[in-house]
Amino acid sequence: MRSVLYVLTTLAVIGLAFWAYRENYATQASLSQTDKLHRDIRNAHARLAVLRAEWAYLNRPDRLLDLADINFNRLGLLPFRSEQFGQVGEIGLPVPKPLDISNGVDVSGNLDNQEQQP
């Protein structure tokens, strides 16, 4: 009887060792994939920072003014003036329609004397 118990215990230890071995490699693969994702995110942030810097460089006001002057005949762009902007009071806002309450409900009664139903 003891020999059967020893064999079963040995098989259980071998089975648990095999399970731990597989879990170890699965964990290492997950950690490797996580590290790759973190690298990709860092690279994307770096590319985004470069793109933002390029965008800011290309949208310098003096550069845009020079481009507008060069392409005035084709585009007809002029600088903004304060007279071009309107006041808030000049905006025509839509007038709300009145609510149609034609089928009213008559509600009357005393709540204190009513019995509550279970």
pTM (predicted TM-score): 0.49
Q: What is the pLDDT of residue 79?
A: 78
Residue 76: left (phi > 0), alpha (psi -120 to 50), or beta?
left
Q: Does the pLDDT of residue 93 top 60, yes or no?
A: yes
What is the arithmetic mean of pLDDT over 72-81?
84
d(CA 10, CA 17): 10
Q: Does the pLDDT of residue 31 top 80, yes or no?
A: yes
